[in-house]
Structure 1
Amino acid sequence: MESFTHLRKGVTPRRMHADLNGLKDDELGRGGFTGRTASLYRRHDPTAFRAVGPLRPLDVLAGELKPSDATDPHGGPMLLFSNDDCRIYLSRRSHEMPYFARHVDGDLLCFVHQGSGLLETEFGPLPYREGDWVYIPKGCTWRQIPGPGDQTTLLMIEATDEFRVPPPGQLGRHFPFDPSLAVIPEPQPVDDDDRAEYDVRLIHDGGPTTLYYQHNPLDVEGWQGDNFAFTFNIADYNVIMSDSVHLPATVHLFMQATGVYVMNFLPRPAEGVPGTERTPWYHRNVDFDEIAFFHGGSLYGIPMPPGLISHAPQGVHHGAPEKARERARRKFDEFTNVDWKVIAIDTRKRLIPSAEVLANDLGQH
């Protein structure tokens, strides 16, 4: 029964996620850390297993994947994972798109891992840079122009429901980001050039479909309303933290759609109360699949692998290995900050890895 008073049985530490005295802290929780939970204190590392079958953790490096847009201007992004609520893609575009794109099945939220350039949209031009989130509404026509000699690596999330900013709750206007720092485009119609037709590629399930126009589709002179494209850089995101307990992933929520939750794990002061576990506890988030995209940084002096994409299916234990936790405890007085940059995606429904992801899983080599 869920209540303010939680039960204790057997050997438990006095404080949650602290003073473990050799035990392994394992959380069995519902609702992505917001529902009922049980903290299990084990003798052994619960991630020390060998998996056989489809429900197993996967790790791939973005740099080893070959989306067709990396070499072919007419190519597109590579599908990584999918379910009924979303599709997750990787793009590594090096050349200007010779076509226009329009995602028909849902909103598009893209994270710029590497590169800079320009997105031409119906709302106006949107410059982008490393660390930007780029939001493109469902049905919006756009085109990408990477910077000269630059390759842009995008992690792309297409949700079948619209992405919304989550309610701030008790934080009110101290919510982790100030929406006035979003970059919103000014309308700037694009003139026709000498081409005979302009092709707009409709991205949809069972597609694509191509529409051909005799004029440039980015011909908007002005717009008004509350549905528009924008960018927001992670450097402008305010991290919520506690000095005495490692907070769950849900406090770092950035945007959400039905069944899809996007979070930013960014540099911040480390927990300072002695005995507090600074590393996320072991867990098997039973209601969500979890994707972690490593943008960069380090964790207590250990570099994070840039471009690593990690998938933890719901119900399967995951977390940093015990030796990393022991190191964080030994180095407690040496490091006062967490320097990681990780983008996380949690999905309510199970994600299906693509054939390309399975073929490039680091655990298979």
Structure 2
Amino acid sequence: MPYYSRVGDVPAKRHTQARQPDGSLLREELMGEEGFSSDSSLLYHVGVPSAIVDSQPWEVGDLATRPNHPLVPRHLKLHGLFENAEWKPLDPVTGRRLVLGNADVRISYVWAGQPSPCYRNAVGDECVYVEAGTAKVETVFGMLDVGPGDYVIIPRATTHRWVLEGHAPLQAYCIEANSHIGPPARYLSRFGQFLEHAPFCERDLRGPAEPLVCEGTDVEVLVKHRGAGPSGILGTRMVYATHPFDVVGWDGCLYPYTFNVADFEPITGRVHQPPPVHQVWAGTNFVVCTFCPRKVDYHPLAIPVPYYHSNVDSDEVMFYVGGDYGARKGSGIGLGSISLHPGGYAHGPQPAAIDASLGVQEVDELAVMVDTFRPLELGEAGIASDDGRYAWTWAGRGPLTP
């Protein structure tokens, strides 16, 4: 996070005695990035944060991927992955299905009807987009209320759990990094404050407001961590002597927070603006953008839909979550769809969409885009949800081979 926060009670000086009302010492934990050289927070625990009583393997699920070969653009229909009531016994962590992935980032999708176990991703930060449903995300830093349109940013190694509200499924699009995720550097001053040209600022971000203290013994925490093997990721089920949610106060610049797409202020121009104006987050070798409802290009000869473009250094993934994305009309893409446009392939609007866009003054669309700078491969859910026809929609015919 780019700015300092303080929640609950902390001592006047760091690394000094902090005591409970009964006089017993609190245990201070420094949670920090990049080996004491970047953002950190100090957390004050009632119990001992290192006290585990068991550790067993946990199978993290199918993380195998297959190359996008032969190279084609793809349409993945994610809603079909969770038909009927198959989502009801699933939770937002263990129910995730891998759609796309590479060495830098994994994109998963889930419909969930049950609360998750306590969970910690020690591989990288997570950026979870809530497509539908509401929940409380309980963390060692406190609680976050989340709902449709929220990005939930959870720093690496933050113990948390998802507690669902209501009877509808929680539909979540999960971006798991092997790095940290945060606002793009160009939005921030050298001291970390949002600059005037940024499309959102500190007022739009919501972090925990008060501590969350839970009691319990022998509490299981699922830990995803780095290791050997094809995916480089392993899982462990740790059992803690006391509940990990025992932090009575903390302060610092590292903590989970949320941002809602309704608070993103679109940047527009007389002619079509390139995708970087829609950027929200950045990780190592990938970016996340949000295409929101907005006024569009106002030059008298403007073409509001994107021009054809060949992003020679990146794969582009669009997840369509609201409104009507005009550039894809006629392709079969709708809400809950993903389009994958790989590097090495020039992509752009469906031909009929260009003429249909002329004279349009604003668009009602909502999409989450992930651009990766290494090629993406297909996970089991990506293979299962591929419509098999999207690549030929620009030409209106194909394939030529049986």
Q: Is TM-score (shorter-chain normalized) higher than 0.5?
A: yes
**Partner residue of 1:145 out of 153, 163, 175:** 163
1:169 CA drift (Å): 7.6
**Larger CA deviation: 262-271 vs 66-75:** 66-75
Match in the other structure for 1:355: 380
Q: How far off is 1:299 after superposition?
A: 4.4
Number of residues paired by the alignment?
Answer: 306
The residue matched to 2:311 in structure 1 has which SS?
A: coil
Instruction: Say if 1:288 and 1:349, in contact at 8 Å, map to a contact too.
Output: yes
Measure how far apart 1:70 and its partner are: 5.2
Whether the 8 Å contact between 1:294 and 1:341 is mirrored in structure 2 is yes
| Offset, 1:150 | 2.5
Letter aligned with residue 199 of structure 1: E
Shift of 1:164: 2.2
2:234 counterpart of 1:211: no
Q: Which of residues 194, 198, 203 is equivalent to 1:175?
A: 198
Query: Cα RMSD over matched residues?
Result: 2.4
Aligned-pair distance for 1:88? 1.0
Instruction: Give the 3-state SS of the residue equivalent to 2:252 in structure 1.
Output: coil
Q: Which moved more, 1:149-158 or 1:74-83?
A: 74-83
Distance 1:341 1:119 in 2: 24
Give 3-state SS (helix, strand or coil) of 1:174's partner: coil
Give the whole-Å Cα distance in 2 for the aligned partners of 1:326 and 1:208.
Answer: 51
Unpaired runs of at least 5, structure 2: 1-67, 226-231, 391-402
Match of 1:227 in 2: 254
Deviation at 1:253, TM superposition (A): 0.9
1:304-338 CA distance string (max 9 Å, x none): 72111111111112222111112112xx1xx3211
CA contact 2:98–2:380 (8 Å) conserved in 1: no
Q: Does residue 97 of structure 2 align to residue 75 of structure 1?
A: no
- SS class of match (2:214): coil
> 1:54 Cα shift?
3.0
Q: Distance in 2 between matches of 1:63 and 1:148?
A: 20
In 2 relative to 1, CA 156–70 (structure 1 residues): closer, same or farther, beyond 3 Å? farther
The answer to whether the 8 A contact 2:108-2:173 is kept is yes
Divergent runs of 4+, >4 A:
67-70, 299-304
Out of 208, 219, 224, the position equivalent to 1:198 is 219
- Cα deviation code 1:126-176 (max 9, x no counterpart): 000100010000000000011121211111111112112112289931310
Distance 1:300 1:81 in 2: 24
Rounded Cα–Cα distance in structure 2 between residues aligned with 1:289 and 1:60: 15
Aligned residue type for 1:160: N
SS in 2 for 1:251: helix
Residue deviations 1:275-317 (CA, integer Å, cap 9, x gap) = 1111101112110001101011124696972111111111112
Letter matched to residue 350 of structure 2: P
Q: Distance in 2 between matches of 1:363 and 1:134?
A: 32
TM-score scaled by length of structure 1: 0.78
Secondary structure class of the residue paired with 1:254: strand
User: Is contact 2:305-2:326 (8 Å) kept?
Assistant: no
Match of 2:267 among 211, 224, 240: 240
Give me the whole-angstrom Cα distance separating, in 2, the residues matched to 1:69 and 1:192.
30
Query: Following the alignment from structure 1 to structure 2, what is the Cα–Cα distance between the partners of residues 118 and 271?
Result: 39
> Is residue 208 of structure 2 the alignment partner of residue 185 of structure 1?
yes
Cα separation, partners in 2 of 1:72 and 1:338, compared to 1, 3 Å:
closer
Q: Provide the secondary structure at the position in 1 that maps to 2:388.
A: helix
Query: Pairwise mapping of residues 5-84 of structure 1 onto structure 2 (< 5 A)?
Result: 53-66=69-82, 71-73=89-91, 75-84=94-103
Contact 1:187 1:220 in 2 (8 A): no
Does residue 307 of the first structure (1) align with residue 325 of the second (2)? no
What residue ranges of structure 1 are gaps of 5+ in the alignment? 1-51
1-side partners of 2:212 and 2:334: how far apart?
41
Tell me which residue corresponds to 1:86.
105
Q: 1:106 aligns with which of 113, 124, 145?
A: 124
Name the counterpart of 1:165: 183
Alignment correspondent of 2:172: 154
1:172–1:232: structure 2 CA closer, same or farther, 3 Å change rule?
Answer: same
SS at match of 1:358: helix
Letter in 1 for 2:315: D
2-structure distance, mates of 1:233, 1:163: 16
**Structure 2 SS opposite 1:143:** strand
1:268 partnered with 2:268: no
Q: Provide TM-score, normalisation by structure 2.
A: 0.71
Aligned residue among 338, 353, 369 for 1:324: 353
Residue 184 to residue 276, structure 1, CA distance change in 2 (3 Å)? same
Give 1:219 deviation, angstroms. Answer: 1.1
Letter in 2 for 1:209: T
CA contact (8 A) 2:143 2:212 kept: no
Tell me how far 1:187 sits from its aligned partner. 3.6
* 1:135 counterpart residue number: 153
User: Once the 2 structures are TM-superposed, how far is the Cα of residue 192 of structure 1 from its aligned partner?
Assistant: 1.9
Alpha-carbon distance, 1:69 to partner? 6.3
Given the superposition, is the C-alpha separation of residues 248 and 181 from structure 1 closer, same or farther in structure 2, using an over 3 Å criterion? Answer: same
